[in-house]
Amino acid sequence: MCGICGAVSFSPPPVAADTLRAMCAAQRHRGPDDEGVWTAPLGAPGESRGWVGLGHRRLAVIDPAPRSRQPLGNEDGSLRLVCNGEIYNHRELRRELESRGHRFRSGSDCEVILHLYEEEGPAAASRLHGMFAFGLWDGKRRRLWLCRDRLGIKPLVYAGDGTRLLFASEIPALLASGLVPRALDRRALALYLAFNYIPAPATAFLGIRKLEPAGSLILEEGGRIATKRWWRLAPEPEAAPDNVDLRLRLRRALEEAVSGCLLADVPVGAFLSGGLDSGIVVGLMSRLAGRPVPTFTIAYPEDPAWDESGAARRLARFFGCAHHEIPLRRRDLLEAALAVLEGSEEPFADSSAIPTWIVSRAAARHVKVVLSGDGGDELFAGYRSYLAACWRSRYRRIPAGLRGGLIRPLLARLPDGRGTRVGEMLRRAKKFVRAAEEDELAGLLALKEVIPASLRRRLVPSGPEPEDPALAWVRGLWERHPADPVNRMLATDLYDSLPGDMLAKVDRMSMAHALEVRVPLLDHRVVELAFAIPGPAKMRRGVPKSLLRETFRDLLPPGHARRPKAGFEVPLGRLLRDGLAPLVAQTLDLRRVREQGLLDPAAVGEILALHRRGKTDSDWMVWNLLVLQSWMERHGRG
């Protein structure tokens, strides 16, 4: 795991090596162990045909020796590579390539990419198992190849103006070059208000793009850029799979994925939330590792309603783990919340970033690598919103007069919120009813959105648009993977919110502390198998993740497979009304909002009034605006 950067210019002036070092310095937290910079002119000595450079900040995990310092080169030096990530099948690929006569200079897992490219060109990506984002310079062809793993586990951003192209792991590295303009992308910010994150390929800046998951970008001499997606889900699931065979295949695939993720020359631990997915990962790790697995979880001694540490403790005891429990008091949450706000590279308002930042800091004191259970919900239908696809048609059989005359008015009168169990049930019921009353696409958006369209249009007025940008975005996602309703919903999250929200959160919060997080559930073989299973088979009798529960019931402590979903969540409402209240009042002061100029003060005031009344859930909306306004004041003034 590392931070990478690079620049190619096909015409003068050259981009100086000092610029690359500045880009590396902006990503030092991603790789505190070493730095490497390589530069070269394009053309013969004395010619002015451009310049290329690559930079790398290293977190040494496999072969920590100096010989694996990046940028790496092939035998004749015509290829150069910087890579962030891990190639789990590098040993098998290395043996194959050595049998063909390739000579390796290091023990780095990433070196296989160079020699595989020599054999297969950009088609080499399909041979790689793992998580990765890399830039490869082909000196003979004067070609830059940027590539990102299938699921978007590792980030890659780039900026080009027709004469040069720069890339990096993080946006601040591009800005540190001094060569990328800071003009804001208002449409991207409108999508942020809907989803809490900015979906790829957009960023908060007009001139910076994210390379999409499974994205391949080739820059040819002359500045021509070609992008494509090099991996896709198969369009149709298997028909009526045998349940016993299916569970055997799923178990074998996940065991192989966990085994691959354990390859490292440094200690490996795990995040353990107390839920099903992390419990399965830790259970398989314990069987494969042959030693106590270091595990890390959080506890809320001052907020017992949010505390899942007891379940994590029972799992750790059952598997014989070396367990670490991090108690989070309100002052700890406040400290972390301020750090998360300060460190945002673009607006990002998933509040679970706060406990993820804390547990990553704690884990990094003991290990360099952890495994997590991320991805299980998006593959096996773990979120309750997926049940909406099953229940929607049943709800709409209720006469419209009864729905409009009784159900909706009754729900509207009842207070809801995430702070109590009853309030949370009512919040979900309201969201389901709102979504079920809409057509299919508008209903899907209603399940996903944080701030409703009517408020978003007022928050960032953009003039007449033929369609709500968020609805247009959801429409594109929905059309990408025709399947049964459940798998279609899962695919929209796999393509969008998983890389844009969940994986981005884990990468940013863990790499802030130089901690590598691996996600075995997102091994592409597990993903492909999961989407070969019809959606209803994943939710038998209306139970989320029923297939996963049945498959690994014997691995877990008695009764654990029946536990509801758990994760590293945060009591956001209490935090906003307590420790963060002065910052909310200061940052979202309506005069300050008006002076800043992006958000409409009247619409902000309406959301704050909802929050003060406390009759309906508005915590995420307030956090969304606080993150955006804080980010604008720090980064958005150019």
Specify if 621 maps to a domain. Answer: no
Residue 153 and residue 28 share a domain = yes
Specify if 375 maps to a domain. Answer: yes
Domain residues for the domain of 252 are 243-381+487-562
Amino acid at 150: R
pLDDT value of position 258: 97
Specify if 582 maps to a domain. Answer: no
pLDDT value of position 49: 74
Amino acid at 610: L
* Mean predicted confidence (pLDDT) in 469-497: 92
For position 289, which CATH number holds?
3.40.50.620
Residue 181 and residue 78 share a domain = yes
Span of 36-40, 49-53, 89-93, 295-299 with lowest mean pLDDT: 49-53
Confidence band, pLDDT 50/70/90 cuts, at residue 238: low
pLDDT value of position 638: 41
Residue 33 and residue 179 share a domain = yes
Specify if 374 maps to a domain. Answer: yes
Confidence band, pLDDT 50/70/90 cuts, at residue 47: low
Average pLDDT, the chain: 91
| Helix, strand, coil distribution of the chain in percent, nearest 5 | 50, 15, 35
Residue 210 and residue 288 share a domain = no
Residue 101 and residue 145 share a domain = yes
Residue 126 and residue 49 share a domain = yes
Specify if 98 maps to a domain. Answer: yes
Domain boundary among 562, 583, 608: 562
Residue 276 and residue 207 share a domain = no
Residue whose structure tokens are 């729900």 = 411
Specify if 236 maps to a domain. Answer: no
Specify if 414 maps to a domain. Answer: no
Residue 180 and residue 125 share a domain = yes
Residue 202 and residue 333 share a domain = no
Residue 62 and residue 210 share a domain = yes
For residue 324, report the phi and psi dihedrals to the nearest 5 degrees. -125, 125
pLDDT value of position 377: 93
pLDDT value of position 147: 98
pLDDT in tens, 499-533: 999 999 999 999 999 999 999 999 999 999 999 98
Residue 278 and residue 218 share a domain = no
* Mean predicted confidence (pLDDT) in 564-578: 81
* Cα 296 to Cα 118: distance, rounded to the nearest angstrom: 42
Residue 336 and residue 218 share a domain = no
Confidence band, pLDDT 50/70/90 cuts, at residue 240: low
Q: What angle do CA 373, 383, 506 make, to 5 degrees?
A: 40
Residue 2 is among the residues annotated as catalytic for this protein: yes
* Mean predicted confidence (pLDDT) in 165-187: 95
* Mean predicted confidence (pLDDT) in 92-108: 93
Domain boundary among 229, 257, 277: 229
Q: Is the pLDDT of residue 283 over 80?
A: yes
Specify if 575 maps to a domain. Answer: no
Question: What total number of domains does the chain contain?
Answer: 2
**Radius of gyration over every alpha carbon of the chain, rounded to an integer in angstroms:** 25
* Cα 618 to Cα 23: distance, rounded to the nearest angstrom: 38
For position 24, which CATH number holds?
3.60.20.10
Using a CB cutoff of 8 Å and minimum separation of 24, what contacts does 558-561 make? 560/276, 560/279, 560/311, 560/314, 560/315, 561/276
Contact of 180 with 160, CB cutoff 8 Å: no
